[in-house]
Amino acid sequence: MNKDSNIKIYEVGLRDGLQLESKILTVDEKMELFLILQKANVDDMEFGSFVHPKLVPQMANTAEFYRQIQNYKNQENLTALVPNLKGLEMAKEVGVTSVNYVFSASDTHNQQNVRKTTKESIESLEYLSQFASDHNIKLNVTIATSFGCPFEGNIPQERIMNILENLLSYNLNKITLADTTGMANPKQVYQLTKEVITEWKNFNLGCHFHNTRGMGLANILASLESGITTIDASLGGIGGCPFAPGATGNVCTEDVVHMLEEMGVNTSINLDRLIQASHKLAELLGHELPGQVAKAGKSSKLYPIPKSTLI
């Protein structure tokens, strides 16, 4: 991995992170987190989703929240998840200029999530892409279960390559391969991402990993070794997919930034302020978070030598 590369961290805590929390944060509480993240120089984030509030009540105040934050930084760096055209229309109504459309490589998971086959979700891109283009909205796509499905098991690499080839005809800003339930391993990650980058050098490709089985950071490192430069992460390590069993545990943003900084890789993020944001998040949610660095501190932190108790 080239240490001179500038790795972009795409913060998903305000959407993917909060969607599994039992406590629903108010707009003011989300604003507290947003402002600390802004001070930490977190430039790109997924701030919410335009989904049915009965399905994901944690995102019911997304439109109101966006009205509060849209003038604090470049709108193009604030992205909302949309599951369909209705969600895209709702995003457009409040002025959102960047959206993320998610579907699964696994037919079974896609049926559980959006009641469509993978093929049907890809076909929906025809009118989603046209609508986004007509209204100057950047359209990103995330392919969930790219590294494994909790219902179907292994997803063949050939299937992912075929899906990506089908996406070439659409005007997409970025494509993200997502390990939705933490089933990926570093060898698998390297092989798939390397093949994609080799096949389509001009793809703006990112990766999204979960730490469900403790391999999140290792998988991120494997993806960076293959040439990936954009990584999703969630403040405090919270979140997961509400439509898949055992899908808790996004990779923690401050743990990722700490690892990269220790390796001499630039992320442009202020780690100290990021840790402050994680502590604020724990305070707002009322429980301990999965992330490690916010608990232990940076590895550069030194401690005084304990006084001897010997007489």
pLDDT tens digits, residue range 86-95? Answer: 999 999 999 9
Q: What is the CA radius of gyration of the chain?
A: 19
To the nearest whole percent, how much of the chain has pLDDT over 90?
84
pLDDT at 80 over 90: yes
In a domain, 198, yes or no: yes
- In this structure, what token pair is assigned to residue 280? 């604020």
Residues 162-218 have pLDDT tens digits of: 999 999 989 999 999 999 989 999 999 999 999 999 999 888 999 999 999 999 999
Say yes or no to pLDDT of 240 above 80: no
- Residue 58 inside a domain? The answer is yes
In a domain, 203, yes or no: yes
Nearest to 102 by CA among 114, 90, 112, 86: 114
Q: Does residue 265 belong to any structural domain of this protein? A: yes
pLDDT the model gives residue 307: 82
Instruction: Name the pTM for this structure.
Output: 0.94
For residues 33-47, average pLDDT = 96
CATH number at residue 255: 3.20.20.70
Domain that holds residue 244: 8-296
Q: Is 207 a catalytic residue?
A: no
Q: How many domains are there within the chain? A: 1
**Domain contains 200:** yes
Q: What is the per-residue pLDDT for 208?
A: 97
Question: Is 307 part of a structural domain of the chain?
Answer: no
Query: pLDDT tens digits for 275-293?
Result: 999 999 999 999 999 999 9
Q: What is the pLDDT of residue 247?
A: 59
Q: Considering the chain, what is the average pLDDT of its residues?
A: 93
- Read off the tokens for 294: 């916010």
| pLDDT value of position 310 | 58
- Is residue 310 in a domain? no
| pLDDT of 4 above 70 | no
With a cut of 80, say whether residue 120 has pLDDT above it: yes
Cα gap 108→87, rounded to integer Å: 22
Does residue 303 lie in a domain region? no
